[in-house]
A and B are shown apart, each in its own frame.
Chain A
């Protein structure tokens, strides 16, 4: 079988595409340069009092810029749609576009529904008023959907992410699989890596690792930061001094040194990550317990059953998370009994646990500082004074008065922090810490690929570009959210 080319039978479009992109870039640069030096448009005041400017050359250039931009977008859409229909006949891009069909459908549905209902969806709906925010959201959504579909439903991937095929070592993108069976996918769309595994399948399996760990680690870091930052800012005094000192202490560590100290097999053997997990994972339980209790403690008839149900479930999840095979901590010398295995519905892989814990540990102090700063600012507001006069308890004021009013900056920071966590996960992989060496996550793939960087870049570039687009998407999303939340 012939190896695939990048665009297959659509290659007659390539010339037009290159032309459109080239013209667009030249026009954009030219327009920016002239805007630096050119004086403003001459204006004339008409007799009815309105001001008019002639479109002139600038206006013409503007129009041409728009046209070429639309041409670029339209041609990209043609590649994509033709790819979905024609599959590998439209080359590697076509094949990829076809494999990603469920993601396109998902994105289309979510976008159409969200734009239709955007006035009734609050801050999320307002996101669709800003172009930057929409682009960011689209990028993030793409990776979330791709990660979930590849990781949970096994949809996008063409081959097993760990199995090696003979003769596919370091093969270029589009190489046909030697001796492929009937039901099997015939090509390695993005080539094979140095162990003859499919780069394309590993890319999307790796997306699942990232999409799974990064948001959850960020949520836990926020729970820790909020639960400690609110009292530190609200009460001040000794508590604040102590907690701030501890936070600054962790922040003074170079992150990579901290990772090297925390994420090694020797440290895992001492059980320290398990202790840290036991401490860090308790914060969500404490947070929700206090949250509900402070709201409903005046109505015991609602409070007691509510707390029993919620806390019961949370404690169960907590115990299931921290105990592995019946033990919370099991080292050579001693072990602490945990949840019995019958009730333990989720065994966290120890290597994922240690990565998760260290990422939460690194992020929590920064969140603490942000929340503390916001609490210091908001506690001087009138509505807090009103609540104090009303006789509300301190935790009610912190969680139901201060926290909701701090949500804007916190949501923005949450998006940025998921991006930062993604970068941290990549860093861990880059130094070969934590996750196993055959793990398909992006950082590890970059780390294994860089040894052969001068000979083969195709196993290396896809994870690098993916990480870049995901973090870029999160940053743009945060930017869009910030703009929209500042508007009101």
Chain B
């Protein structure tokens, strides 16, 4: 077990390095850099101005060299420039302008704990990412709280009597929920619950059941600081619904399989009531498979988070990804991709280890 985890960790590290390098390569392509220069400087810059803007900030160095700077194994760039008054101005990656020569650090990269500055938000990347991650963590926590129990209940109810009307209805519901991407269900939910003109809100307002114009809010902007049912339920529901169907179907399949097992039949023939068979004999064994599925679903949720945070204007990690990527904010995007890659790989590891742990019939070879 120990060597298995070690090997997996090594593999993860290699994957993470390759991935970050790919992201670095793509964001440092010349057209992307030109776009960055023009959005940071001004849009009517000439070709020469763009080149000198990029050159002064170390963007035109060879790619491996730049990547080394980001990692922190190559000294950061230093530009000396004589301005119109004849004063030498020294700028660099690792120190603020006007720093004394002795106080300048040479290396500053991820290894030194320096994640760089965001060109869009003009702040430190690590603080920004941490803040946004906390917001998304809150969202994900509520999603898991809603999604997992709902999926397990639906799956167990459907799988306990295979082929019954209940099973058909719930299975159709879970297929429908996997077929509804977040941007579709989110739009439909906003129309139904969060619009003052359509859906149920005008009716409820007319009957005097709600004091506000709409039942729920279509924007979760305030939810970062102060999450209430009214502003937070729709985003949570939207993400949960898409992820739920798959887990429910896996639970149903697993439950249906257990219900046909020999020991369940024996228990039934012995005269144990149906309810006891389900609750005491079948349920525990049926829940092994859904565990791995739930873990593997987490990276999937990340996608949903990006869409839902954009749709509901919730300032979380997903929205940060969109903002970083659409502005080619290189160092922010690097940090974002490192975090998301770690999330993906760690959940894969947990699901593998957990499966072995829960299911003693499987041994790692």
Contacts and interface: CB of A to CB of B under 8 A. Distances in A.
The B interface, classified by DSSP as helix, strand, loop or mixed, is: helix
B357 interface: no
A446 B183 contact: yes
Contact of A253 (B19, B161, B181, B191): B19
B322 A475 contact: no
B303 A254 contact: yes
Interface in A238-272: 245, 248-249, 251-257, 260-262, 264, 266-267, 269-270, 272
A257 B191 contact: no
Given A267-B29, A269-B31, A460-B191, A260 B322 contact: yes
Interface in A11-32: 28, 31-32
B27 interface: yes
A430 B164 contact: no
A461 interface: yes
A195 B184 CA distance: 22
Contact of B29 (A249, A266, A449): A266
Contacts of A32: 165-166, 169
A257 B183 contact: no
B19 A426 contact: no
B44 to A, nearest CB: 18
B91 interface: no
Contacts of A431: 310, 322
Contacts of A461: 187-188, 191
Interface stretch (A73-81, A88-96, A352-360, A466-474): A466-474
B195 interface: yes
Contacts of A249: 15, 18-19
A450 interface: yes
Interface string B322-345: 100110100001001100110011
A386 interface: no
B316 interface: no
Contact of A254 (B175, B191, B321): B321
B183 A426 contact: yes
B321 A453 contact: no
Contact of A454 (B14, B184, B197, B341): B197
A353 B115 CA distance: 35
Contacts of B29: 266-267, 270, 272
Contacts of B307: 256, 427, 430
B180 A468 contact: yes
A417 B322 CA distance: 25
B57 interface: no
Contact of B32 (A31, A36, A245, A267): A267
A36 B166 contact: yes
B9 interface: no
B165 A31 contact: yes
B322 A256 contact: yes
Given A252-B341, A257-B336, A266-B35, A35 B179 contact: no
Contacts of B344: 251-252, 254
Contacts of A270: 29-31
B299 interface: yes
B26 interface: yes
Given A427-B181, A475-B179, A460 B187 contact: yes
A36 B161 CA distance: 10
Contacts of A173: none
B54 to A, nearest CB: 14
B117 to A, nearest CB: 20
Contacts, number: 142
Interface in A437-477: 443, 446, 449-450, 453-455, 457, 460-461, 464-465, 467-468, 471-472, 474-476
Contacts of A430: 183, 307, 310
Contact of B19 (A252, A449, A460): A252
A232 interface: no
Interface residues of A, number: 50
B112 to A, nearest CB: 25
* Residue of A254, A461, A476 with most partner-chain B CB within 10 A: A254
Contacts of A149: none
B176 interface: yes
Contacts of B326: 260
B27 A453 contact: no
A461 B354 CA distance: 42
Nearest to A36: B166
Interface string A412-425: 00000001000100
Contact of B175 (A36, A453, A475): A475
Contacts of B166: 32, 35-36
B181 A426 contact: yes
Contacts of B341: 252-253
Interface string A77-118: 000000000000000000000000000000000000000000
Contacts of B116: none
Interface in B279-331: 299, 302-303, 306-307, 310-311, 321-322, 325-326, 328
Nearest to B181: A423
A467 B184 contact: yes
Contacts of B51: none
Nearest to B36: A266
A256 B321 contact: yes
B179 A468 contact: yes
18 contacts: A32-B165, A245-B11, A254-B302, A254-B344, A256-B303, A256-B322, A257-B23, A266-B35, A267-B26, A267-B29, A431-B322, A450-B311, A454-B194, A454-B218, A457-B187, A460-B187, A465-B184, A467-B184
Given A261-B325, A454-B195, 20 more contacts: A35-B161, A35-B164, A252-B344, A253-B337, A254-B337, A256-B322, A257-B23, A260-B322, A266-B29, A267-B29, A430-B310, A446-B183, A453-B195, A454-B197, A461-B187, A464-B183, A468-B176, A471-B181, A472-B180, A475-B175
Closest 10 CB pairs of A and B: A260-B325, A266-B31, A472-B179, A471-B179, A261-B26, A457-B191, A464-B184, A269-B31, A423-B181, A430-B183
Interface of B: 11, 14-15, 18-19, 23, 26-27, 29-32, 34-35, 157, 161, 164-166, 169, 175-176, 178-181, 183-184, 187-188, 190-191, 194-198, 218, 299, 302-303, 306-307, 310-311, 321-322, 325-326, 328, 333, 336-337, 340-341, 344-345
Interface of A: 28, 31-32, 35-36, 245, 248-249, 251-257, 260-262, 264, 266-267, 269-270, 272, 419, 423, 426-427, 430-431, 443, 446, 449-450, 453-455, 457, 460-461, 464-465, 467-468, 471-472, 474-476, 479
